[in-house]
Amino acid sequence: MTPQQEHERMLVLSFIIPARQSRYLELLGKSKRRDDITSALAHFKHLDMRYAAVIPSHRQHAADILRILKAKGAPDTCYALSEDGELDGKEIALQDALKSVVCYGMGSFLSCVRGTLAYF
């Protein structure tokens, strides 16, 4: 399994509701169907809220989110699963990724620590 496939697998298994996990894994595994997942991220309804922490509105800025993620153990880079084709499927500097997605309405998962810490 490639590092990309492992990040995506762990994102799905850790942060997607169990009833949808197998379908997401199936679609992400097919390059022609990947867009079915990424294009739906802006209106995503299958996040498993048991593992989510809501960031207060006054802290929903890239710099604040970076500090929050770093305090939780995020490294300097992340893996992006994103509606933005420039980010999707890439390992990128976490700071740059946050600047690209926060407040821009693009649905994205930034996987910081596989299966443990991500930003959506």
To the question of pTM greater than 0.75 for the whole model, the response is yes
At 103 the pLDDT is 79
The domain ranges of the chain are 3-119
At 3 the pLDDT is 84
Instruction: Tell me the CB-side half-sphere exposure of residue 106, using CA atoms within 13 A.
Output: 19
At 2 the pLDDT is 86
At 104 the pLDDT is 75
CA distances from 48 to 4, 23, 108 (A): 21, 15, 15
- Exposed, middle or buried, 90 (CB in 10 Å: 0-12/13-18/19+)? middle
At 109 the pLDDT is 93
At 21 the pLDDT is 96
At 106 the pLDDT is 78
At 51 the pLDDT is 87
How far apart are the C-alpha atoms of 81 and 110, rounded to whole Å?
7
At 14 the pLDDT is 95
- pLDDT mean by block of 10 residues, the chain; 120 residues: 88 95 91 88 89 90 96 97 93 96 86 94
At 1 the pLDDT is 79
Convert the pLDDT of each residue in 69-94 to its tens digit. 999 999 999 999 999 999 999 999 99
**Is 45 within 8 Å of 16 (Cβ atoms)?**
no
